[in-house]
Amino acid sequence: MPVRRSSKVLPAKQVRRLKRDARRIDREQRGAIRRKGRAVKARHERLRDIVQVLRAERKRRGLSLAEIGERSGIGKANLSRLENALDPNPTMDTLLRYAEALGCAIHIALSEPDPPNRRRAAG
C-alpha cells in the first residue's frame, strides 16, 4: 500500500501525539512485526531458490534468455529481471512456463515449515 503524503501541516501537539502512538505501537507489536518480517523474508528466499535452480538448469543446458523467452512466451527482459531480482515475486504461471521451456516440471509439496533456527543456519 503506497504511503500518501499530505501537504497539510499538522499542529505540533498532534504531531507529538502521533509520534508517541507510533512508538507505543512499535514497542507493543515489535515481536509480531519481526515475526512477520522473517516470514516474508523466508518466502522470498524460497522463491529466490526456485528461480536460481531454473537459472542454473538453463545455463547447464546452454540456453539463452532469448531461447527461453521464445519457448515460454515470457519476454527476455522479464526473464532477466526475474533471475536477477533480489526479491522476486513471480506468479506460479511464470515459474511453470519457465520450467516447461526448459523441459522440466515443478512439483509442489506441502510440509511442515522449517524451524526458524534451522532456516537461519542454512542461509
The pLDDT assigned to 1 comes to 64
Structural domain includes residue 65: yes
pLDDT tens-digit map of 94-114: 999 999 999 999 998 898 877
CA distances from 104 to 33, 98, 114 (A): 38, 9, 26
pLDDT > 90: what percent of the chain? 57
- For residue 58, give its domain range: 12-110
CA 70, chain centre distance (Å): 25
Structural domain includes residue 66: yes
Dist CA 56 CA 85 (whole Å): 15
Nine cell digits for residue 89: 515475486
CA distances from 120 to 4, 40, 48 (A): 35, 14, 15
Output the domain CATH number for residue 21: 1.10.260.40
Structural domain includes residue 121: no
pLDDT tens-digit map of 4-29: 777 788 889 999 999 999 999 888 98
9 vs 69, more confident:
69
What is the count of structural domains for the chain? 1
The pLDDT assigned to 117 comes to 60
Nine cell digits for residue 108: 509442489
